[in-house]
Amino acid sequence: TEPLRDYTQGVGHLPIIFTGFDAVSSTLLVASFKKLVAFRNDKVFPLLSNVDDEFDKMRSISFDETSLHFAVTFSPGGRHPGISHRLYRLEVDDDNDEVRCIEMAQWLTDCQMSSTMWSNCLFSLKNSLFSVVYNEDKQRFDAHDWSGRRADTMIHFPSSAVVAAIRAVPAACDTRKSIVVLADKAIFSIAFGLSDMAS
């Protein structure tokens, strides 16, 4: 076995809020509240930072390995006075041994609360990317089509439980997902499907 490896090289100062991995390129993504970095071939690639990318704190990150896209939920501050979400695409350049990310879209809200980690999930369905996030202000789940072809959908959350995590789970048919919600005292499931007509 190999010795234990410290990717932070003994200088980690902020809690780690996310890790993701692309098995094809052997790229590890690691995020704190203030930075997102990629590790590949013993090199560190800074992808996002609160100073360069104009945000206060990252509250949640969800990575879709099939499309190499990730969605980030940001606290109020920086570019936008409310909670905001941005979609990025991870790019791995094998020829030059570089890793970078490109901002693809943003989804702005008027929400202000961020006492929890603002769980989100990103998933692909019928060649489009969708996010479902827990809206703490309104106690509901908001679903967003990143292509802009469908209007946002809201689902009331009839519980006082604290939402800890949200995951999209494949369903029997390719036009549906089950959104599994882990709360502090229960587990919930939301059926997510696409109709033939976009609104």
Say which DSSP state 121 is in. Answer: E
pLDDT at 171 over 60: yes
Lowest mean per-residue pLDDT among 1-15, 35-49, 120-134: 1-15
Concatenated DSSP letters of 50-106: TTTTT-S-EEEEEEETTTTEEEEEE-SBTTBSS-EEEEEEEEEETTTTEEEEEEEEE
Residue 46 C-alpha from the chain's centroid: 17
In the predicted model, is pLDDT for residue 125 greater than 80?
Answer: yes
Looking at residue 136, what DSSP letter applies? T
Mean of per-residue pLDDT scores for the chain: 87
Q: Convert the pLDDT of each residue in 132-167 to its tens digit.
A: 998 888 888 999 999 999 999 999 888 888 888 899
In which band, very low, low, confident or very high, does the pLDDT at 78 lie, cut at 50, 70 and 90? confident
Residue 126 CB burial class (10 angstroms; 0-12, 13-18, ≥19): exposed
Identify the pLDDT of residue 21: 95
Residue 196 — very low, low, confident or very high, per pLDDT cuts 50/70/90?
Answer: low
Higher-confidence residue of 61 and 9: namely: 61
**pLDDT at position 198 over 50:** no
Task: Specify the CATH number for the domain of residue 39.
Answer: 2.130.10.10
Number of independent structural domains in the chain: 1
Structure tokens given for 197: 């007509």
Q: What percent of the chain has pLDDT over 90?
A: 53
CA distance 60 to 194: 25
CB 16 within 8 A of CB 28: no
Residue 8 inside a domain? The answer is no
Sign, Cα dihedral of 100, 98, 123, 183: negative
Q: Is the pLDDT of residue 40 over 90?
A: yes
Range with the poorest average pLDDT among 5-9, 36-40, 179-183: 5-9
Evaluate whether residue 120 is within a structural domain. Answer: yes
Q: Show the tokens assigned to 126.
A: 């019928």
How far separated are the first and last CA of the chain, in Å rounded? 55
Q: Which residue has the tokens 């089950």?
A: 178
Residue 1 is assigned to a structural domain of this protein: no
Domain hosting 121: range is: 18-193
pLDDT band per the 50, 70, 90 thresholds, residue 77: confident
pLDDT higher than threshold 70 for residue 12: no
Domain assignment present for 55: yes
| Domain-embedded: residue 11 | no
- Whole-number pLDDT of residue 15: 84
In a domain, 170, yes or no: yes
Q: What is the predicted pLDDT for the residue at 154? A: 92
Running DSSP on this structure, what letter comes out for residue 7? T
90-94: average pLDDT: 95
**What are the C-alpha distances in Å from 131 to residues 4, 19, 86, 99, 192?**
35, 18, 10, 24, 11
Contacts of 108 (CB under 8 A, 6+ apart): 80, 82, 84, 85
Q: Is residue 13 part of a domain?
A: no
Segment 12-36 mean pLDDT: 90
